[in-house]
Amino acid sequence: MHSSPRAGLVRKFQRQQSCREVTSGEEAFSAIDRARESVTAKFTGGLSPASLMLAYLDWAIHLAGAPGKQLELASKAVRKATRLGGHAISGRLEPDAAPCIEPLPGDYRFSAPEWRTQPFSFMAQAFLLNQQWWHNVTHEVPGVERHHEEVVSFIARQILDVFSPSNNPLTNPEVIERARKTGGSNFIEGWRNWTEDLQRQLAGRPPVGSERFVVGRDVAVTPGKVVFRNHLIELIQYAPSTPTVHAEPILIVPAWIMKYYILDLSPENSLVRYLVGAGYTVFCISWRNPDADDRELALDDYRRSGVMAALDAIAAIMPRRKVHAAGYCLGGTLLAIAAAAMVRDGDERLASLTFLAAQTDFSEPGELALFIDSSELRFLDSMMWNRGYLSADQMAAAFQLLRSNDLVWSRLVHEYLMGERSPMFDLMAWNADSTRMPYRMQAEYLRGLYLDNDLASGRFMVEGRPAALQNIRTPTFAVATERDHVAPWRSVHKLHLLIDADLTFVLTNGGHNAGIVSEPGHPGRHYRIMPKKHGDICLGPDEWLAEARMREGSWWEAWTEWLDGLSSPEQVVPPAFGGAGSDREPLCDAPGTYVMQR
């Protein structure tokens, strides 16, 4: 007996209702878990307790079952104790006795002459030997997963740093001498500094001295106009400073994790101003600072409404002109995705690509990988789900932990124990002017790129199809920095393995930010550079380091020389703002409105 059409419709409706009820129930149960994780995150600083516990148990269980490693550690402990005892004896007999261990490169806690005298020398040497021993304890334990090993080692360093003799006013000879000279007033000044910083932090105000670097007045002052705006970007076209310009303009894609004007700081160290002075028409994206209403902005929205929308606007202003595109940090990663998709689709608008401290392969992302595993990503996901974005203070805390000696403890000692304010400068003021990250984009970015490494593996999808870096043939210039803790230079170097194009690779001294803001005339600057044709063999990072030529000065000059070689020989009249004969009026003066958003 056949059922009636009405009965079939009823059953279909019932199934749909059942599916809705199941989906609604699952979402409710998931919301409970997310709410719990979000609350927990407030007490853990955003670190997943499960992730930390898994790392600890992996290390502890394998160490407990490794008698050979235990004997090795015991032997090393005896040898280090012997070295320390010998140093103590020689220090009593010879005040200027050589230390038995030197600090790691970049560790300046014990560099002052006062640390060479007893008993402070003994304290410093004991701390450094203990630090070295704990490095041995947390490394090369047989069977421990590498990620867990790095997490345990990182936590051990953080705990050790708390007890460094440099952080204690009773065991730091520099603080003791300062107190003797000032009669203890340094502690009063330090207390004032601490209370002022606390008040500013609670009120959401920038650090002391930031008011001297006002956007549009002191920094981001290169003349220009906002010629395009959508929900996500403002596109700035900078005014020419030469009678004629190169035919091909430059588009700069900064990271949206930061305000764009790191590339247009003070007039003397502005990369934008330098490029304009070199005869280029420069366009730069200024990203909107997202809020909770932007929680569903996806990574592909940043590609479409960011890079592609900017290229479309430039094409309207300068028709039939190819573009030199440059991306910094996260903006470079986005530019690589956009370029791969453009090649796939036959879009030939790019004359060259430049990547500044930008990763495309995330298999070795450096210490940021400490915060990237499935458990930690779930935790971050719940934090962002609750707010709709990842806040600036949460990101800043992670970066400070990675360089706790420089960004936390040295500041504590200098400003709160010594009672001296560190002078504010433009790069520090910019660093305090941070932005938020929308929920969906950040989740896609961390999981798809950092955790799964989809871009380097050819699995990254753009509009339903793979966007493979291996298809890029555009001449490319890549810059890495020696002390980069965000995009380690060996990770950036992996671009050699991913694109089939002529690639000029530069390694400059400095860190992630200061190495890029490296204007000509900056004292102490140098860089290594070596081009690779698309048919040449690939060198590993250590081989490249051995063969690359060292140059003194700024890499900016090498970059403009490279750009000149890829630009048309003829010079042209600078384009009008918004395009010649266009009825599109500039929207406002640079630096625009989005950069002012808090």
In angstroms, the CA 538 to CA 177 distance is: 55
Of 287, 263, 285, the closest CA to residue 274 belongs to: 263
Contact between residue 76 and residue 136 where contact means Cβ atoms under 8 Å apart: yes
Cis peptide leading into 591, omega within 30 of 0? yes
The 3-class secondary structure across 12-34, one letter per residue, is HHHHHHHHHHHHHHHHHHHHHHH
Query: Is 19 in the active site?
Result: no
> Active site residue: 19, 329, 538, 588, which one?
329
Contact between residue 97 and residue 90 where contact means Cβ atoms under 8 Å apart: yes
In angstroms, the CA 328 to CA 297 distance is: 21
In angstroms, the CA 23 to CA 439 distance is: 21
Longest dimension (CA), the chain: 108
**Residue 438 three-state SS:** strand
In angstroms, the CA 248 to CA 566 distance is: 9
Find all residues with CB under 8 Å of 1, minimum gap 6, and list them: none
Angle at 10 between CA 5 and CA 16, to 5 degrees: 125
Find all residues with CB under 8 Å of 270, minimum gap 6, and list them: 221, 222, 263, 264, 519
In angstroms, the CA 125 to CA 85 distance is: 10
How many CA atoms within 13 Å lie on the side-chain side of 128? 23
In angstroms, the CA 153 to CA 140 distance is: 11
Contact between residue 309 and residue 253 where contact means Cβ atoms under 8 Å apart: no
- What is the β-pairing status of strands 461-462 and 465-466? antiparallel
User: Rounded to a whole number, what is the distance in angstroms from the first to the last CA of the chain?
Assistant: 69
In angstroms, the CA 201 to CA 458 distance is: 43
**Residue 590 three-state SS:** coil
In angstroms, the CA 461 to CA 25 distance is: 31
Please state the φ and ψ torsions of residue 14, each to the nearest 5 degrees. Answer: -65, -40
- What is the β-pairing status of strands 323-328 and 250-253? parallel
Angle between helices 185-203 and 173-182 (to 10 degrees): 110
In angstroms, the CA 342 to CA 428 distance is: 36
Contact between residue 317 and residue 579 where contact means Cβ atoms under 8 Å apart: yes
Please state the φ and ψ torsions of residue 29, each to the nearest 5 degrees. Answer: -65, -40
Tokens encoding 183: 């009669």
What residues act catalytically? 329
